[in-house]
Amino acid sequence: MQAVRSIAFLTIRACWRSRVAHILLFFIAFVMFVLPLTISGDGTAEGLLKISLTYSLGATGILLSIVALWLGTMNISEDIENHNLHMISVKPVSRLKIWFGKWLGINIFLLIILILAAISIYFTSMWRLGKANFPEEELAEVKFRVLSGRELLAPEKINLETLIDEEVQRRLRMGLPMPENLSEKMVRSTLGKQIERKKDSVEPGGIRRFEFKKLSLQPGTEISIRYRVYVSRVKELSQRATNGLWILYHKDEAGKEVPFYLRKQSLGGRDQEIIFNSDFIRTDGSIHLGYMNQDPEGKAVVFPENHGPFIMKDAVPFWNNYSRVIFLIFCQILFMATLGSICGSLASAPIALFCSFSYLIVGLLVNYVRPADENQFKFDSQNPIVQLMELVQMGTSVAIVSLNDFMQLSFLIRGELVDLSFMIMTVLKFVVLRGLPIVIIGLFFFNRRELGKVVRRA
């Protein structure tokens, strides 16, 4: 391991002397110190904090990923082309140790920068928030909604098969004949698509119920429910305010269901929260809610399954959640450094740079061919071009890792917990299952590459 440590130390020094790295690090310093102090939000404390964290951390992650690709690619390929690696190879140091030492040095160098950037962005954003002279009530709301790490508890999912059975029985009771030219499987499939399109929708005057089970909340504490409602449909661009009536179904001592009403005006397409007491939790640990659509223009409203409502349960402090996001950003940097190091060990510098940055660009573009609403696409889109784009996106996403796969800033700025199980799955899915095969295949060919045939640079 002495050889690996020595190579890692020399690699850190080489990274620090890289001119291109100096330029990119200058921009990172700008993001660390200047960006959080200059950008402005929508005039609210919440908007200021959200945009400061989003832009600063997002730009830092992207810039460090570019630095990781550049250093990983150039550090090894230049050593091979300048024949520097030949002097080490003749010593009793294997190529695997050489590659691992350089890879380790690059990642230690970038990890130090990331930690310094994260600390700087955190304290600069908090300092600016405190100096902005926002009212105490607004700051308290920001602390509750953003500066927290709350776990999302989802309601019970709607059983589609049960709804199909109920629809079939309803049609039979009404005397509606079933199509004779279609099998029972085809009929149920068609009904399933119709119900799937409408299950998230609430017609004017209609009520949709939500049930949360197996809750372990302390009695007497406040419960926050976050949701996002859309007027007409999710894809509707001109969202507006709508009125609704939240209903909390509470059972009295006699076991009779007693509703409690809470009128709420909600802005379509935006996160909303309602707060009530945990006394509404039933003895079996469940909460039953309902939403009555009272839209002033008589339009239907939609509750997409992935937008709530969710019960927000306090889990970890903000710094803990912040650290988890930084860890995922480092995993992204780790993957890019690995990709660059493999490309640099297999090809000349220009080809290695082209391959590694092409991978990065394709990964960024993959998300733009993904439909905005996958559930709507699944049943509504009959356009073969759109379907082809979706197939291309699905196939590419299997082989390509995008920067967006690691960036979980949306969780952070909404005060939502970045769950440990999600972090483990992200590492396994992207770093291990996709990164490890690249490393194994790359090192296999690197170990058999004839370095003597590489033309030395003039």
pLDDT greater at residue 363 or residue 322: 322
CA separation for the pair 41, 50 (Å, rounded): 8
pLDDT greater at residue 289 or residue 88: 289
The predicted pLDDT at position 324 comes to 92
CA separation for the pair 359, 51 (Å, rounded): 28
Arithmetic mean of pLDDT, 366-389 = 53
What is the helix (H) or strand (E) element at residue 323, kind and residue range? helix 318-346
Average pLDDT taken over every residue of the chain: 78
Is the pLDDT at 380 greater than 60, yes or no? Answer: no
Over its C-alpha atoms, the chain yields an Rg (Å, rounded) of 27
pLDDT greater at residue 123 or residue 370: 123
**Per-domain boundaries in the chain:** 2-144+318-453, 159-198, 200-316
Arithmetic mean of pLDDT, 379-404 = 64
Q: Which amino acid appears at position 433 of this protein?
A: L
CA separation for the pair 261, 249 (Å, rounded): 9
pLDDT band for 111, please (50, 70, 90 cuts). very high
- Judge contact between 95 and 89, C-beta under 8 A: yes
The predicted pLDDT at position 227 comes to 87
The predicted pLDDT at position 330 comes to 92
CA separation for the pair 139, 129 (Å, rounded): 9
Arithmetic mean of pLDDT, 308-313 = 83
Query: Residues 42-57: pLDDT tens digits?
Result: 677 888 888 888 888 8
CA separation for the pair 299, 283 (Å, rounded): 37
Exposure string for 10-22, b = 16+ CB within 10 A, e = fewer: ebbebbeebeebe
Is the pLDDT at 424 greater than 70, yes or no? Answer: yes
Nearest CA to 56 out of 37, 75, 72, 43 is that of 37
CA separation for the pair 72, 309 (Å, rounded): 44
* CATH 2.60.120, domain 200-316, yes or no: yes
The predicted pLDDT at position 327 comes to 92
pLDDT band for 379, please (50, 70, 90 cuts). very low
- Judge contact between 309 and 229, C-beta under 8 A: no
Arithmetic mean of pLDDT, 104-110 = 91
> For 128, what's the count of Cα atoms within 13 Å in the CB-facing half-sphere?
24
The 8-class DSSP code of residue 275 comes to: E
Q: Is the pTM of this model over 0.85?
A: no
- Judge contact between 200 and 143, C-beta under 8 A: no
Nearest CA to 47 out of 165, 151, 129 is that of 129
The predicted pLDDT at position 374 comes to 45
- Judge contact between 72 and 340, C-beta under 8 A: yes
The predicted pLDDT at position 399 comes to 65
The predicted pLDDT at position 372 comes to 45
CA separation for the pair 188, 68 (Å, rounded): 52
360 Cβ contact partners less than 8 Å away, ≥ 6 residues apart:
65, 66, 69, 336, 403
Query: Residues 335-353: pLDDT tens digits?
Result: 888 888 888 888 877 888 8
The predicted pLDDT at position 209 comes to 84
Query: Residues 176-233: pLDDT tens digits?
Result: 666 666 666 776 777 777 666 677 788 888 888 888 887 776 666 677 888 888 888 7
Which three-class secondary structure state does DSSP give residue 72?
Answer: helix
- Judge contact between 349 and 341, C-beta under 8 A: no
Structure tokens at 330: 């480092």
Arithmetic mean of pLDDT, 314-319 = 86
pLDDT band for 457, please (50, 70, 90 cuts). low
pLDDT band for 326, please (50, 70, 90 cuts). very high
The predicted pLDDT at position 373 comes to 45
Arithmetic mean of pLDDT, 305-310 = 82
Is the pLDDT at 442 greater than 80, yes or no? Answer: yes
276 Cβ contact partners less than 8 Å away, ≥ 6 residues apart:
222, 223, 225, 248, 262
Is the pLDDT at 376 greater than 50, yes or no? Answer: no
Give the position of tokens 């990964």. 363
- Judge contact between 168 and 185, C-beta under 8 A: no
Query: Residues 62-97: pLDDT tens digits?
Result: 888 888 888 888 887 777 776 666 565 556 677 788
What is the helix (H) or strand (E) element at residue 250, kind and residue range? strand 241-251
Arithmetic mean of pLDDT, 376-405 = 62
Selection from 158-167, 331-340, 438-447 with the highest mean pLDDT:
331-340
